[in-house]
């Protein structure tokens, strides 16, 4: 199994300014906040980062910002999934030139494809970057389930393949992917500890970016064999993750981290909705109950 990519990888948000454009300064502060907490890497421009609502130039700029800011201190896995193979391949090539450590990609979506077309889609994209490649298994949004059988076909045709982000409900598949020698990163924060016990290499999700210290405690406690401590931290994170509105995840993450580090990360890009006044009130109550203290080091002047 590839040990290069493991641990806690926040799925980065994409901060926006008051005009709805990429807020580069805020993004850099979000990155530094997470690195200072000790995260092992970032999942860049995924669902939490609203990548499918950004244009290609914005996604390319994000790749540059992340590599400039991290300076090799952590691993960066850049998502390049789009509606077409050509666009995704172009983004993959640019990401590689920007200096990311790996790329990842959802399967073709909207138009249903057979296994052969999915494999070819991945082959072309992975070849364009020639970096370690991660499949993004997200059937709830793509309507494509990456089963172990399909993954075997991908593994045979895509030599760059090293692993996947597993955001599918079948947690039992982790064992199958593990036995294939793949780095399987759990994509559901509420199941991080259970996944580690089944052989997952780590966890990638939005909540990691708003309370990295708790997820790092799960990881470090698990690695040291302190399973009770790992369980206690998992319970705290699960309570927050379970309260994230399904249709307002990005707004929740932005509001949470804005409060924590004193940096305005803005609103999600339409058609995504922002939080209501009552939802923001609940969010502040969550932070207080969990005793997750604000970090003023990154506060805006």
pLDDT 10s digits, 49-91: 999 999 999 999 999 999 999 999 999 999 999 999 999 999 9
pLDDT given for residue 301 in this prediction: 54
Burial code (b: 16+ CB inside 10 Å, e: under 16) for 20-48 equals eebbbebbbbbbbbbbebebbbbbbbbbb
% the chain with pLDDT above 70? 95
Q: Are strands 202-205 and 102-105 parallel, antiparallel or unpaired?
A: unpaired
The pTM (predicted TM-score) of the whole model is: 0.94
pLDDT given for residue 247 in this prediction: 80
pLDDT given for residue 22 in this prediction: 97
pLDDT given for residue 230 in this prediction: 97
Whole-number average pLDDT of the chain: 93
DSSP 3-state of 132:
coil
C-beta separation of 134 from 162 below 8 A: yes
d(CA 30, CA 23): 11
Angle (nearest 5°) at CA 202 between 196 and 207: 110
Q: Is 72 or 283 the better-scoring residue by pLDDT? A: 72
Instruction: Report, as an integer, the average pLDDT of 181-196.
Output: 96
Which residues make Cβ contacts (< 8 Å) with residue 84, sequence separation at least 6?
none
User: Which strands, in side-by-side order, build the sheet including 102-105?
Assistant: 7-10, 202-205, 183-186, 161-166, 133-137, 102-105, 75-79, 41-44
């Amino acid at each position: 199994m590839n040990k290069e990519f493991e641990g806690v990888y926040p799925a980065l948000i994409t901060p926006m300014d008051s005009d709805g454009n990429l807020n580069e300064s805020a993004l850099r502060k979000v990155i530094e906040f997470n690195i200072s907490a000790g995260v092992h890497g970032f999942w860049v421009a995924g669902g939490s980062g609203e990548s499918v609502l950004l244009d290609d130039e914005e996604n390319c700029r994000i790749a540059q910002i992340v590599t400039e800011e991290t300076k090799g201190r952590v691993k960066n896995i850049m998502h390049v999934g789009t509606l077409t193979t050509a666009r995704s391949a172009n983004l993959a090539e640019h990401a590689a030139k920007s200096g990311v450590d790996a790329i990842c990609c959802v399967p073709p979506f909207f138009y249903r494809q057979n296994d052969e077309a999915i494999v070819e889609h991945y082959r072309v994209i992975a070849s364009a970057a020639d970096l370690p490649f991660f499949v993004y298994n997200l059937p709830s949004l793509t309507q494509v389930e990456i089963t172990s059988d399909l993954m075997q076909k991908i593994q045979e045709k895509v030599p760059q393949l090293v692993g996947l982000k597993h955001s599918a409900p079948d947690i039992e598949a982790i064992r199958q992917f593990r036995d294939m020698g793949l780095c399987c990163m759990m994509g559901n924060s509420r199941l991080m500890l259970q996944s580690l016990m089944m052989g997952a290499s780590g966890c990638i999700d939005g909540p990691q970016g708003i309370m990295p210290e708790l997820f790092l405690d799960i990881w470090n406690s698990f690695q040291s064999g302190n399973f009770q401590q790992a369980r206690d931290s998992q319970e705290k994170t699960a309570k927050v993750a379970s309260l994230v509105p399904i249709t307002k995840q990005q707004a929740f993450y932005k509001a949470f981290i804005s409060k924590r580090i004193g940096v305005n990360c803005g609103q999600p890009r339409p058609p995504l909705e922002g939080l209501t006044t009552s939802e923001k009130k609940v969010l502040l109550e969550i932070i207080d109950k969990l005793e997750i203290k604000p970090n003023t080091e990154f506060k805006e002047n």
